[in-house]
Every structure is written in C-alpha cells, then in structure tokens.
C-alpha cells in the first residue's frame, strides 16, 4: 500500500503553524537579554534606593525601625567604618522544607544593609538577602546569597525607609 503524506488536520495544523514562530521569539528574548538589569548605583544588590537629605545616622536609625517593624531582629556586628547593618528572622516553613537539613534546625533569613555616600550627594542604601542554614552553630552555620528573584519585598522595605527618612527631615 502506498504511503500518503496528508497535511495535518485540526489542532495539529494550528499548533504546527505557530510553533516555529514561538520558538524564534523565545530564543530572541533569551539571547537579547530580556532579563537585563539597569546599570546604576546599587544594581548588583537585591534592592537599592538613593536617599537625599537625612544624615547616614538618621537613615540607619530609620532602617532599623523599618526592618524591626517587619519582624527582623538586629544582629550585633563588629564595629565598622562603612555603615553596615544586619537583621535576621526565621524563614518560613517552605524555606526550611526546601533548604533545611534533615535535622530540626530552621532556615533563617539574614538581610545585610549598607549605607554609602554618593559622589553627587545623597546616600545609597542597598540590601542583600542570605539564606542561613544551621543558624547559630559556630562550626556549621552557612550563608547562601539569595538571587535577585525575590526583590519585591525588600524593595518595598527600602522604599518605606526612604519615605520615612525623607518625611522626617525638616
């Protein structure tokens, strides 16, 4: 019996007509840097804001208030010349399930905030998030820097810092 090569019918024909175009669009988006970030002050951080007006100490006080109100506890760090602050709190159950070990130790979220003066004036406030396993264990505690995927909540916290710090400035 001779083989007949009939064109596809129904849904197969419709899928076949747009599939090559979809593949080309996806490839162009991927190669074209669809996830490219804007370069500027703080672009390498999870979140960043520029605050003009208040002193670095006033900004640090506001950072502390905002992060503590969000449930973070301040972490004592060695004295430093650059304005650094560290806050942490237990991560959610899902983070512990995904990233925790087989033991009962919870995973913690640690946020490192830095305040740095800019050449043109103002202060750059940046923060980065770390997932901490074996929290508090001097021998086994490990920090894992979290990618910029979850920047929304931290961008919101820094926007609150900026709003409160600039509102309090006379």
Domain ranges of the chain: 47-168
The dihedral through the CA atoms of 28, 31, 34, 38 has a sign that is negative
Residue with tokens 């940046």: 126
Q: Is 113 within 8 Å of 129 (Cβ atoms)?
A: no
Identify the pLDDT of residue 23.
Answer: 46
- Collapsing DSSP to helix, strand or coil, 26 comes out as helix
Q: What is the pLDDT of residue 5?
A: 64
**pLDDT value of residue 17:** 55
Structure tokens of 90? Answer: 């237990």
Q: What CA–CA distance (Å, rounded) separates 100 from 108?
A: 10
d(CA 36, CA 38): 7
- Domain 47-168 falls in which CATH fold? TATA-Binding Protein (3.30.310)
Nearest to 40 by CA among 103, 142, 122: 122
The verdict on pTM exceeding 0.85 is: no
pLDDT at 168: 63
pLDDT (tens digit, 0 to 9) for every residue of the chain, 170 residues total? 556 666 656 555 554 554 454 444 443 443 344 333 445 556 788 899 999 999 999 999 999 999 999 999 999 988 877 789 999 999 887 777 777 766 667 889 999 999 999 998 899 999 999 999 888 888 888 898 987 667 789 999 999 999 999 986 54
pLDDT of 38:
46
């Amino acid at each position: 019996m001779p083989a007949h090569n009939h064109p596809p019918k129904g849904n197969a024909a419709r899928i076949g007509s747009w599939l090559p175009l979809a593949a080309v669009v996806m490839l162009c988006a991927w190669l074209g840097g669809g996830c490219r970030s804007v370069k500027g002050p703080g672009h390498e951080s999870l979140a960043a804001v520029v605050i003009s007006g208040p002193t670095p100490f006033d900004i640090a006080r506001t950072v502390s208030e905002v992060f503590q109100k969000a449930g973070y506890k301040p972490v004592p760090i060695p004295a430093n010349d650059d304005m650094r602050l560290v806050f942490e709190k237990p991560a959610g159950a899902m983070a512990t399930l995904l990233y925790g070990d087989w033991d009962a130790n919870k995973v913690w979220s640690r946020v490192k905030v830095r305040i740095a003066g800019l050449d043109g004036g103002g202060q750059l406030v940046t923060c980065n998030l770390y997932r901490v396993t074996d929290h508090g264990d001097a021998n086994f505690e490990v920090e894992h820097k979290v990618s910029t995927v979850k920047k929304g909540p931290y961008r919101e916290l820094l926007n609150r810092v900026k709003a409160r710090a600039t509102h309090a400035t006379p």
